[in-house]
Structure 1
Amino acid sequence: MEPRSTSRDHIEAAVFRRLVSHLRTRSDVQNIDLMNLAGFCRNCLSKWYVSASTDAGEAIEYEEARELIYGMGYDEWKAQYQTEPTAEQLAKFRAQDSSN
């Protein structure tokens, strides 16, 4: 495998920041919908952030990572934007979860 270039790292970091920014503007998109459609959600991004920061020797706490992804505290985001999942959303999530 070739060593990673600095410019590629900068590009990938910019793409990540744009994805996070996009998700912040799309608070209407629920995490369960992201999980059902794409297999990841904002919480997954937060966990990946914690993992990557640990790998880099700069570990941060999960709640801090969530705040970086959500743009606010998780409880605040839930109170403002999270809706109760429908029976259909839950059934789809459970069906996918049991197949993994």
Structure 2
Amino acid sequence: MKSFDAQTTLELEAAAFRRLVEHLRERTDVQNIDLMNLAGFCRNCLSNWMAEAASAKGLALSKDEAREIVYGMPYREWQAKYQKEATPEQKAALAKSHPHSH
């Protein structure tokens, strides 16, 4: 496995994170429930991980602030513009893949 110094590794990881966030912002057609069903995480999970990382460093970052970073806008605005009602099939798949998530 290729290894880099700590700063280079940090910069590469940050660049990959920024690209992932950019990709998720562009793919508004992909619903969070589909991400959860296929990959086991969604935009909200990514936001939560960011808020948890900030908290671990003693930094204040609310769930709403973290979501705005990931979504590129307030979460409620993203929901209004892009979120569709989950189908019964999507809900069933989520219940099967994440039985304890709700």
Per the TM superposition, whether the score is higher than 0.5 is yes
Deviations 1:33-92 (A, max 9, x none): 000000000000000000011112222111000000000001000000000111110000
TM-score after normalising by structure 2 = 0.90
Match of 1:53 in 2: 54
Q: How does 1:36-75 map to 2 (within 5 A)?
A: 36-75=37-76
The one-letter code of the counterpart of 2:57 is A
Task: Check if 1:80 corresponds to 2:89.
Answer: no
Aligned residue pairs total: 97
Over 3 Å counting, the alpha-carbon distance change for 1:47 and 1:99 in structure 2 is closer
SS at match of 2:99: helix
CA RMSD of aligned residues (A): 1.4
Give 1:99 shift. 6.9
SS at match of 2:41: coil
Structure 1 vs Structure 2: percent identity of aligned residues? 55
Match of 2:98 in 1: 97
Unmatched runs of 5 consecutive residues or more in structure 2 = none
Q: Distance in 2 between matches of 1:54 and 1:85?
A: 32
Unmatched runs of 5 consecutive residues or more in structure 1 = none
Q: Distance in 1 between matches of 2:49 and 2:99?
A: 22
SS at match of 1:98: coil
Could you list the structure 1 runs, at least 4 aligned residues long, displaced by more than 4 angstroms after superposition: none
The one-letter code of the counterpart of 1:55 is A
The one-letter code of the counterpart of 1:37 is L
